[in-house]
Structure 1
Amino acid sequence: MLKNFKSLIKENKNLFSLLTVLIVSLIIGSLIVWINCSENILGHSYRDIYLYLIEALKFSGVNITGYDYVDFLSPLIPFLTSIAFRLNFVSVNSLFVITGIFYVLGVVGTYLLLRLRFDNTYSIFGAILYGSFTVNIMWAGNGSIDVPCVALSIWTLYFFIKAMKTNQKYFYLAFPLSVLTFFAKYTGAVVFAVMILYFLSQKDIFSTIKKYFKNIIGGALFGLVFMVPFFYYYLSNHIPFGFLNQAETISSTTTRSAFAIRKHKGNNLLYYFSNLPRYIYNPNHWVGIILLIICMVGIVYALYRFSKVLKESYGIMDSKVGFNYDTNSFWDNIVGKFKIPKSIFYVILFASIVGMCLSFFIAGKVSFVKCEILFFISIFIFSLTFNKVLLSFNENNKFKYEFFTYDLMMIGWFMGHMIFLSAHLTKVDRYATAFAPALAFFITFGLSFICEKLKDYKIKSVSLKHIIPTVCVILLLIMSFSYLGVNKHDSLVNNEQDTVTWLEGHDPNLGSAVIWADRGPIFTWYLQKEVHYVTNKENSSKFSNEMLANNTKYYISQYQNLSIPQYKEVKQIGEVSVYQKV
């Protein structure tokens, strides 16, 4: 029977690998959601999540005045949450469950995406690695929209590549998912640039366009259908399109925020690079450092091979180079007539590399949009020139690189997000989830290179090529489950909930009372009525006059024993104090 079971696994290796990743991600994802639902975690650092809850209330028909700016937030996750609210599951747990599902989808999608490049063993490792990143576990299933956005971008790219390689009907899944990625978080629009890069970095652009034109147009039009409900909601309610305002602000200046200026963090371009070990595994940075060393081994090897190919190709190339690819197509024949000297060709190739590097180092000095445009134009020119180099090698049967477009896509994915995040003065760790799948890819690439070099070494007839990834997966699972034991409870949540309970018992007319609070969105969610969000109270007399002018009855503060004219402290619960108009 055991023999038959082993035979069954061998025959259905892909399916069992997928099921393994699915089961592991379901267990971890369920534990994350259960922990977040069981413990009060939404304390000091989770203001945005309450804004998504307010937006979900608005989608479900509960219109709270004074919080019109939630209309500018990314709508997908609040919209999905509003469905649960309409079914009478009005709880923060609904948001936890919905965002937790996307964690599972992200891990499974990572396996499938890596499976297009690696074998089962390395794909399982890469998927579990992605799922075990501290930054992912920390921000999964807690109501934030970052992990859902990344999960959708993973599936978008998976189906897009499948459409290019196997069946063009997958375009009708890829484009709708790309639209949902954008509405999950507006910065997810980077996925469109990555898709275009993958498409245009194919060997022959003109043949590629001709081959896929019909279904790409069809898929794109089908994707537009998924925009209709959102645009209808915005237009029918006379709501401005928040992403257009964001795009205008970003394109005109370096992205700034009052929070960043207040914290004096400055524009540290290397912030995310320097914190990579922490994002991989925060309790022990050495784990992240070791994995990054593995990653660097693969990158250094790739750069060595790249330099060697360029050096050898210079001797193979004709004195004049044309950008035709021997497809005998109409456009290929026209382009082939235009040739440039070999020396200029290589200057263009190296200039494209310089352009990619420069786009990162000028981030923050010019607008994010200009940096991204420079990067993607440079990487496109690089693909155009290097594809020609690869063609010259293929003609001489010297070197084949079948995953060039895939690897270039991963570089574009990683750097596309890194440039934007580095240009942004606000440096927040959860933003690192955006490039986490690409980081998992590069570490997997490094591990695969090392293991391939050790494939002839065996322990009890089993190759190290299989032992090392298996051991790594086990260690990653131990890391994941151990990190789940980290105490995420925040007593501020209890203080705020007890404050609401006290207010409701203290004032039977609380529904008509005007309330101001330092953490306005939190109390707005609890009371499901407008609680004015206080952002500036430096001058106590002026602040008091403003509250009196607005007939404010209560002010809920994070600070005790404040001296506010015409207001006295009537209740203190932990970190929360309630001031009432005298």
Structure 2
Amino acid sequence: MDDAKKQVKTVFRELMETHHMPLFMLILITVVLIAYLLTIQIRIGVPYWDVFNYLNNALFFAGINGGGVTTYLPPVIPFLTSLLFRMGYVSIDSIFVVTGLVSIIGVVGLYLLLKERFNAIQSFTGSIIFISLPVVISWVVSGGIDIPGVVFSIWTIYFMIVGLKRDSRFLYFVLPLFIISFLARFTAGLIILPVFLYFLMNLKDFKQIEDRKKIVTGIIIELGVLGALTLIFL
């Protein structure tokens, strides 16, 4: 009996410690905030005309007859929305849910990125400030592509830093995430400038990586696959 009580106390103590972890609290706050914003956005409906174009493209990706397809728009958010359509949730609200989930991933990515330079509390504070900014909070569940472009750019930079500083295997993810950020919002392609500048500033770190030849080979293969897919779908 005493052992059972001790185990319960231990589990309870560990749970309490977990609740005080900044990342856990950040995710909890962000999820609650996104859920609340979703209820508001669903009542408001589509905020601007471009979202209808994204929804039409999502219908096309899902193989459902819909309106006209706008081929020049970034495809990432329509494609992710089409996955919900394929699961049977064909609704305008789907794109709000998708952008909300992407925004949560972005807040976590920003926390991890800030934690490379600051402590946990400072990173938590910075992430809360980010999600609370009017220019951000107004768009996180709007169905737009602005926040997703920022989100994938954040993860691109994060994997670049971690790959050069700690684990070179993360460098394999830099190019795919850069492509995703570009396809989420074309202007996010400008992230290549700070990424390339950071690489040049830390070129010594890259030269010290033992398996850098494998990394370069892997990136070349990724470029080859990307080029082949581009030729197929153009």
TM-score range, shorter chain: 0.7 to 0.9
1:376-455 → structure 2 map (5 Å cutoff): none
Q: Residues 34, 206 of structure 1: CA spacing in aligned structure 2 closer, same or farther, 3 A cutoff?
A: closer
Q: How far apart are 1:216 and its partner, in Å?
A: 3.9
Q: RMSD over aligned Cα, in angstroms?
A: 2.9
Q: How far apart are 1:64 and its partner, in Å?
A: 5.5
Alpha-carbon distance in structure 2 between the residues aligned to 1:204 and 1:213:
15
Alpha-carbon distance in structure 2 between the residues aligned to 1:193 and 1:206:
18
Which of 47, 50, 57 is the matching residue for 2:49?
47
Alpha-carbon distance in structure 2 between the residues aligned to 1:85 and 1:206:
43
Residue 25 (structure 1) aligned with residue 25 (structure 2):
no
Does the 8 Å contact 2:164/2:205 carry over to 1?
A: no
- 2:89 aligned residue: 89
Alpha-carbon distance in structure 2 between the residues aligned to 1:97 and 1:223:
32
Tell me the TM-score normalised to structure 2 length: 0.83
1:233-244 → structure 2 map (5 Å cutoff): 234-235=233-234
Q: Residues 223, 20 of structure 1: CA spacing in aligned structure 2 closer, same or farther, 3 A cutoff?
A: farther
Does the 8 Å contact 2:206/2:212 carry over to 1?
A: no
Alpha-carbon distance in structure 2 between the residues aligned to 1:132 and 1:228:
41
Deviations 1:134-184 (A, max 9, x none): 111101111101111111111111111111011111112222111111111
One-letter identity of the residue aligned with 2:90? V
Q: Percent same amino acid at aligned positions?
A: 33
Bigger strand fraction: 1
One-letter identity of the residue aligned with 2:28? I
Does the 8 Å contact 1:114/1:123 carry over to 2?
A: yes
One-letter identity of the residue aligned with 1:42? V
> How many positions carry a matched residue from both structures?
224
Q: How far apart are 1:99 and its partner, in Å?
A: 0.7
Which runs of no fewer than 5 residues in structure 1 stay unpaired? 236-582
- 2:59 aligned residue: 57
Q: How far apart are 1:209 and its partner, in Å?
A: 8.8
Does the 8 Å contact 2:160/2:171 carry over to 1?
A: yes
Does the 8 Å contact 1:25/1:108 carry over to 2?
A: no
- 1:169 aligned residue: 169
Does the 8 Å contact 1:81/1:98 carry over to 2?
A: yes
Does the 8 Å contact 2:58/2:79 carry over to 1?
A: yes
Deviations 1:72-118 (A, max 9, x none): 00011111111222222211111110111011011111100000000
Does the 8 Å contact 2:111/2:127 carry over to 1?
A: yes
Alpha-carbon distance in structure 1 between the residues aligned to 2:121 and 2:206:
36
Alpha-carbon distance in structure 1 between the residues aligned to 2:87 and 2:133:
34
3-state SS, counterpart of residue 72 of structure 1: coil
One-letter identity of the residue aligned with 1:167? D
Alpha-carbon distance in structure 1 between the residues aligned to 2:207 and 2:195:
17
Does the 8 Å contact 1:105/1:151 carry over to 2?
A: yes
Deviations 1:468-521 (A, max 9, x none): xxxxxxxxxxxxxxxxxxxxxxxxxxxxxxxxxxxxxxxxxxxxxxxxxxxxxx
Q: Residues 84, 16 of structure 1: CA spacing in aligned structure 2 closer, same or farther, 3 A cutoff?
A: same
Alpha-carbon distance in structure 2 between the residues aligned to 1:227 and 1:99:
28
Q: Residues 24, 226 of structure 1: CA spacing in aligned structure 2 closer, same or farther, 3 A cutoff?
A: farther
1:502-513 → structure 2 map (5 Å cutoff): none
- 2:40 aligned residue: 35
Alpha-carbon distance in structure 2 between the residues aligned to 1:73 and 1:169:
32
Alpha-carbon distance in structure 1 between the residues aligned to 2:150 and 2:201:
23
Alpha-carbon distance in structure 1 between the residues aligned to 2:46 and 2:93:
11
Q: How far apart are 1:205 and its partner, in Å?
A: 8.3
- 1:354 aligned residue: none
Bigger helix fraction: 2
Tell me the TM-score normalised to structure 1 length: 0.35
Alpha-carbon distance in structure 1 between the residues aligned to 2:105 and 2:35:
12
- 2:188 aligned residue: 188
Larger radius of gyration: 1
Q: Residues 34, 219 of structure 1: CA spacing in aligned structure 2 closer, same or farther, 3 A cutoff?
A: farther
- 1:429 aligned residue: none
Alpha-carbon distance in structure 2 between the residues aligned to 1:75 and 1:113:
26
Q: Residues 35, 230 of structure 1: CA spacing in aligned structure 2 closer, same or farther, 3 A cutoff?
A: farther
- 1:115 aligned residue: 115
Q: Residues 135, 106 of structure 1: CA spacing in aligned structure 2 closer, same or farther, 3 A cutoff?
A: same
Q: How far apart are 1:40 and its partner, in Å?
A: 2.5
- 2:138 aligned residue: 138
Does the 8 Å contact 1:179/1:224 carry over to 2?
A: no
Alpha-carbon distance in structure 2 between the residues aligned to 1:198 and 1:84:
37
Does the 8 Å contact 1:36/1:142 carry over to 2?
A: yes
Q: How far apart are 1:57 and its partner, in Å?
A: 1.6
